[in-house]
Structure 1
Amino acid sequence: MKKIIGLVLAFGPGIFAIGYTIGTGSVTSMIVAGSTYGMQLLWVLMLSCIFSGILMFTYGNYALITGETALFAFKKHLKWGKMIAILIILGVTFGQWNSLMGILGISANIIFEIILIYFPQLEGVEYEAVLGIAIIIILTMYALLLVGRYTFFEKILVIFVTIMGLSFLVSLFMVYPQPEEVIRGLIPSIPKVKGGKMMVAAFVGTTMAAATFLSRPLFVKGKGWNISNLGQQKKDAIIAACLVFVISASVMAVACGALFLEGEPVTKVLDMANTLEPVAGKFALTLFFFGTLSAGLSSIFPCLLIAPILLSDYQSGTLDTHSRQFKIITAFACLFSLIVPIFGANPIEMQIMSQVFNVFVLPLVILGIILLVNNKKLMRGHKTGLWLNIGLVAALFFSCLISYNGIMALLVYF
């Protein structure tokens, strides 16, 4: 048991990639997609995870070889780099803070739903209970942030991500789709129904999150890695991308197996309880909810960190978690996150919308790193290979396609 715990705790900056990627945004998108379209969008998830792995590896390598972080390097080395960096900071922060509202709303709703399973008499006080739970969660997270050490953040995330992964994988053994559904899902197609295009954009927005790649150099440096850890960094990126795919696909498969075949699409958090319980029983439902809750809590940390991380990256390339700037920005993000619980908005709809907005800065983030890693002077003799360049260009083309798709989806929605 000590060896297993040691192995889990030895996991590197990839744990932050999983924390950013698999939050309630990802889980919500997977549940809604699995319950509404079956496994039809599995191909989008697979491509997003492949490109995410390539980008995590590339950003991590750049940091280890040059000693520079992403936005600092954009500002320093690229023409129009300062403007590009500012646009990325604004775009990513807007997307992540919007996502944070949905995450907190869903997490608070899930805790209430878990309590409600065993204490149904509390049904009449939903708004007050959910708001109270949301305030307690965000105050706890802010208090933990003030500890301000990379290793502490990493260990907290390891706990949440481990619970999340095990919960979803165990749920998958209880409720699963037919194999032919899974095979059909690997054939590219977009659901020809209202909301289909938006769901594709949301999938990419949550799985190929720009925040994951931009923050990686800082987390790699926080881990204490240097140029001698290039192999370890590569392995960490591959493992992170694979785990994101396995866990996300498990969530989609559970929703498909339990809800899609029953014709029960999910539109509210309560729908998950009403439809899963008769199929999977109280234990499986509680287990699935704990997984979703862990996904939410594992995302709140990185979402609160994103704005100070990007600003620190832009200003100096180092993150000071004890600075006044860090404390003020994270406190404002905490207050911002309470908007959905205070107004009692539908957190699932808010969450999917926020994921769509995340795709619009993605082409800039990919183009910037392509230009940097192909600068021979910066890379100090570490040539970027042909296959990696092909992967990066393919990721750029894919992100442009999805951004266009997201714009079309939002025009139809509004």
Structure 2
Amino acid sequence: MIKRLSKYFGPGTFVAAAFIGPGTITICSIAGVTFGMDLIWALALSILATIVLQNMSARVGLVTQKDLGTAMRHVVKHPLLKGILMLLVVLAIVFGNAAYEAGNISGAVMGFSVIYADTQIHFGNFQVDYLPVVIGTICFFILNLNSYKKIESILIVLVVLMSLSFLATAVITQPDYTALLKGLVLFKMPSESLTTLLAIVGTTIVPYNLFLHSSIVQEKWKGLKGLKSARWDSAIAIGLGGLVSIAVVVAASRLPKQELLSILDMAETLEPLYGIYAKYLLGFGMFAAGITSTLTAALAAAYVLRGCLGWKVSTSHPKFKWTWRGILFLGVFFSSLGINPIQLIQIAQVSNAILLPFIAVLLLVIVSNQKLMGEHKNTWIQNLVGLLIILFCLFLSLKSFFMMFNG
């Protein structure tokens, strides 16, 4: 079964696993409960933009045999500008991913607690949640396999099961398909929906995925013969991730309007309305989303650091391994102590949103470079589409920046 799935899924699964995390599930839940299906169009456009940008990133990796960080260092010649750019990328993505990791592991714990609530160990008046340690240990052993094929197989299974869980939850809630179609085509922006809209886009188009994708395509395919497969892989895997996001919005839209603080609130509301299976499906989906994002966030940080700092090392080198181990440890540490990672995650989201247009511009410059890309450089149509995405990312960046300072 896994061999069959691996014919259709590959590096794109890593991208889908990365952006369908607890943060995305929570944002989509809030969007559905608060605005119904009115913002589904924003999700659909975000998914299309993600497919376009990730295809460019994959093409850079296969044509140049360089990851995006290395390609950026090749294109930016001025030493000072190059140093500043690499520093910004490392700070925003590596430290940002450390913050995300706490949220990913906490999300996996939250999903598991829907099924089994008692995950605390008590020492007098002091209590520690043991599940983050268990999740971190599982992820450690998976990443320590140091085998692209094995990690890919595990992610394929988890992403497929996660997708089925959320899609089944949406079907159980008996959605209004007419409202779903209107949400896709009418481009509504209800009052006070801008913050949620920005969050939807910001959790879908993720800068570190561009670095991750350009690296792992080289693990799957060698050279130009993988270009066609990479295009289909991105479209199928990222498209499936988009369906998951839409399914969460659809399921949440069937709930009465309420203040939704976590997936636990949604699960508890689903049970009396649609039965215990809806609750358990949602809980398992959240658990799987947390696990997959925990794996990819740690791995992406290591790839970013390797490319941006010019490490000429393999994935089995101690530098690479201790990077993802450090990110994983920080996530386990903050989750185990019950430290709320929301503020850290919000800062990470803002920093990534601000960084995104700069990364997208450099990506567009690289894929338009005749010397680097040869006959596989962007066409004028691809550049036009890329430019429109960059303008939208710039709008997102400026809005995120002003919202951060205006409270």
Calculate the TM-score normalised by the size of structure 2. 0.91
The 2-side partners of 1:352 and 1:181 are apart by 31
The 1-side partners of 2:239 and 2:45 are apart by 12
Question: What corresponds to 1:367 in structure 2?
Answer: 361
The 1-side partners of 2:210 and 2:324 are apart by 20
SS where residue 302 of structure 1 aligns? helix
Q: Retained in 2: the 8 A contact 1:30–1:252?
A: yes
The alignment status of 1:234 with 2:231, answered yes or no, reads: yes
User: Structure 2 vs 1, CA of residues 9 and 387 (structure 1 numbering), >3 Å: closer, same or farther?
Assistant: same
SS where residue 381 of structure 1 aligns? helix
RMSD: 2.4
The 2-side partners of 1:56 and 1:20 are apart by 13
Question: What corresponds to 2:204 in structure 1?
Answer: 207
The alignment status of 1:298 with 2:277, answered yes or no, reads: no
Q: Retained in 1: the 8 A contact 2:207–2:352?
A: yes
Structure 2 counterpart of 1:322, which letter?
S
Q: Retained in 1: the 8 A contact 2:22–2:290?
A: yes
The 2-side partners of 1:128 and 1:289 are apart by 27
Question: What corresponds to 2:191 in structure 1?
Answer: 192
Q: Retained in 2: the 8 A contact 1:97–1:337?
A: yes
The alignment status of 1:56 with 2:54, answered yes or no, reads: yes
Q: Retained in 2: the 8 A contact 1:88–1:364?
A: no
Structure 2: runs of 5 or more not aligned: none
Displacement after TM superposition at 1:223 (Å):
0.8
SS where residue 129 of structure 2 aligns? helix
Structure 2 counterpart of 1:137, which letter?
I
The alignment status of 1:272 with 2:270, answered yes or no, reads: no
Q: Retained in 2: the 8 A contact 1:74–1:82?
A: no
What stretches of structure 1 move > 6 A for 4+ residues in a row?
122-125, 127-130
Structure 1 counterpart of 2:300, which letter?
I
> 1:4-403 counterparts in 2 under 5 A?
5-10=2-7, 11-79=9-77, 80-116=81-117, 131-186=129-184, 187-193=186-192, 196-257=193-254, 259=255, 262-316=256-310, 320-346=314-340, 351=345, 354-403=348-397
User: Structure 2 vs 1, CA of residues 57 and 393 (structure 1 numbering), >3 Å: closer, same or farther?
Assistant: same
Q: How many residues align?
A: 400
Q: Retained in 2: the 8 A contact 1:210–1:361?
A: yes
- Larger mean CA deviation between 269-278 and 291-300 belongs to 269-278
The 2-side partners of 1:379 and 1:26 are apart by 34
Q: Retained in 1: the 8 A contact 2:21–2:104?
A: yes
Displacement after TM superposition at 1:271 (Å):
0.9
Displacement after TM superposition at 1:240 (Å):
2.4
The 1-side partners of 2:60 and 2:327 are apart by 29
- Larger mean CA deviation between 58-67 and 388-397 belongs to 58-67
Q: Retained in 2: the 8 A contact 1:16–1:157?
A: yes
The 2-side partners of 1:344 and 1:333 are apart by 17
The 2-side partners of 1:270 and 1:314 are apart by 39
User: Structure 2 vs 1, CA of residues 123 and 373 (structure 1 numbering), >3 Å: closer, same or farther?
Assistant: closer
Structure 1: runs of 5 or more not aligned: none
Structure 2 counterpart of 1:253, which letter?
V
User: Structure 2 vs 1, CA of residues 345 and 185 (structure 1 numbering), >3 Å: closer, same or farther?
Assistant: farther
Displacement after TM superposition at 1:89 (Å):
2.2
The 2-side partners of 1:40 and 1:328 are apart by 44
Q: Deviations over 1:161-207 (max 9, x none)?
A: 011011111111101432343244333344433xx433222212210
Displacement after TM superposition at 1:303 (Å):
0.8
SS where residue 388 of structure 1 aligns? helix
User: Structure 2 vs 1, CA of residues 347 and 201 (structure 1 numbering), >3 Å: closer, same or farther?
Assistant: same
Structure 2 counterpart of 1:264, which letter?
Q
The 2-side partners of 1:288 and 1:60 are apart by 32
The 2-side partners of 1:256 and 1:304 are apart by 32
Displacement after TM superposition at 1:340 (Å):
4.2
- Larger mean CA deviation between 96-105 and 395-404 belongs to 96-105
Question: What corresponds to 2:398 in structure 1?
Answer: 404
Displacement after TM superposition at 1:44 (Å):
1.7
Q: Retained in 2: the 8 A contact 1:28–1:348?
A: no
Structure 1 counterpart of 2:91, which letter?
L
SS where residue 376 of structure 2 aligns? coil
SS where residue 380 of structure 1 aligns? helix
Structure 2 counterpart of 1:165, which letter?
S
Calculate the TM-score normalised by the size of structure 1. 0.89
Displacement after TM superposition at 1:12 (Å):
1.4
Identity of aligned pairs, percent? 26
The 2-side partners of 1:355 and 1:24 are apart by 13
User: Structure 2 vs 1, CA of residues 198 and 358 (structure 1 numbering), >3 Å: closer, same or farther?
Assistant: farther
Structure 2 counterpart of 1:281, which letter?
G
